[in-house]
Amino acid sequence: MENDNDEYTKELNVAVRVVHMACSLCQKVQKQLLFPNNSNQIKSKDDDSLVTVADWGVQATVSWMLSEAFGGQNISIVAEEDVQTLSKPESSSQLGMVVNAVNECLAEAPKFGLKGPNDALGASQVLEAINRCDSTGGPVGRHWVLDPVDGTLGFVRGDQYAIALAMIDDGEVAIGVLGCPNYPVKDDSLIKYSQQCPFMSEMSSREEGCVMYTKKGSGKAWMQPLIHGDKRLEWQNSARTIHVSSIDDPALATFCEPVEKNNSNHSFAAGIANTVGLRKKPLRVYSMVKYAAIARGEAEIYMKFARSGYKEKIWDHAAGVLLVQEAGGVVSDAGGTPLDFSRGIYLEGLDRGIVACSGFKLHEKIIGAVYASWESSNL
């Protein structure tokens, strides 16, 4: 990487280390979830979506670490979770587990080259750290954007998920970090496990997940393996650059889409795939691991066409979009316009859907097919 005087280098350095810490927390919680009778680590929010000890634990950990590194109480953090469910009396056991998970994680901060608290955090401090992430972003200033566990359903099933941390500076994504604990660093791992292994708990313990990261204008993206046991994170030596695939023939391209049908129209995406000549079956993958797969050259296309009324949130895309772009790819809405991260917590003005590709040739074909097919769709 560039020298420490370059813009955003300090912020990226801290963000990568914090995401490594978050990955460690998630791995420990997921192992516990995969044992029977551990459903007390999962709660349903008021909108019926799932939230786990890991979601709250990561948000508290990242919030505390970023606040210590960059400006204390004045830091702006936009994140998915709040304390409403966790503060209820019936959630006291979950709160205790969150506090334990956070303190265990913060105690390991020196292993990742960071400084943790002098004393263990109490419940009120953990709730305060989670609640501090109440910014709504916007076009002015710096805003950290966090999805503590992107793909919670994948997480609780032992499948793919991601910890996504980005920083928006005056409306543009400046830093993107994706932690992918169940996405091994070796090539073709996503395709292999999508075909053979629906539950990532079967992944060999010798296979390490990864953290991918980038910063605006670098023209580069990097990947590091996660560390295990008592090993320490070696910031400079463990990273290698990644780049998008050079495949531009639709017949050879690999296409990713969300697993969930409630916020993505699979049938419309299938029609687009057929129009442009995609021959492979889509890889249905939880979380922003889809962006990660394009950034490191394992897939070429990601399409998502949400049903009418669904609003995309910035924390579900910011880190992944920058990662793909700096690795050499292109991301836009389905009308071909760059995504706008400057208008609050939603991607306002989004035209029909999101298309990410390894190159402009594939991207132009898909955008053209969207225009040709849209009038006959029911979206």
What was the pLDDT predicted at 194? 61
> Is 1 a member of any domain?
no
Based on the structure, what is the number of domains in the chain?
2
**Is 4 annotated in some ligand binding site?**
no
Mean pLDDT for the chain overall = 89
**Is 172 annotated in some ligand binding site?**
no
Looking at the fold, whether 106 and 197 belong to one and the same domain comes out as yes
pLDDT band for position 199 (cuts 50, 70, 90): very low
Options 52, 55, 61, 333, the catalytic residue: 55
**For the chain, percent of residues with pLDDT exceeding 70:** 87
Judge whether residue 145 has pLDDT over 70: yes
> Is 268 a member of any domain?
yes
Of 190, 222, 242, the last residue of a domain is 242
Q: Residue 26 belongs to what domain range?
A: 9-242
**Is 80 annotated in some ligand binding site?**
yes
What was the pLDDT predicted at 1? 47
**Is 47 annotated in some ligand binding site?**
no
Mean pLDDT to the nearest integer, 257-267: 88
**Catalytic residue status for 52:** no
Looking at the fold, whether 92 and 202 belong to one and the same domain comes out as yes
> Is 159 a member of any domain?
yes
Looking at the fold, whether 220 and 279 belong to one and the same domain comes out as no
What was the pLDDT predicted at 281? 92
What was the pLDDT predicted at 72? 73
pLDDT in tens, 61-102: 999 999 999 977 689 999 999 999 899 998 899 999 999 999
Looking at the fold, whether 203 and 223 belong to one and the same domain comes out as yes
Judge whether residue 151 has pLDDT over 90: yes
What was the pLDDT predicted at 208? 82
**Catalytic residue status for 61:** no
Looking at the fold, whether 233 and 298 belong to one and the same domain comes out as no
Options 52, 61, 152, 214, the catalytic residue: 152
What was the pLDDT predicted at 294? 98
List, in sequence order, every residue forming a beta bridge with 285; answer none if it has no partner. Answer: none
> Is 77 a member of any domain?
yes
Judge whether residue 250 has pLDDT over 60: yes
Question: What CATH number is given to the structural domain containing 352?
Answer: 3.40.190.80
Mean pLDDT to the nearest integer, 293-306: 96
What was the pLDDT predicted at 337? 97
Judge whether residue 364 has pLDDT over 60: yes
List, in sequence order, every residue forming a beta bridge with 51; answer none if it has no partner. Answer: 43
Q: pTM here?
A: 0.93
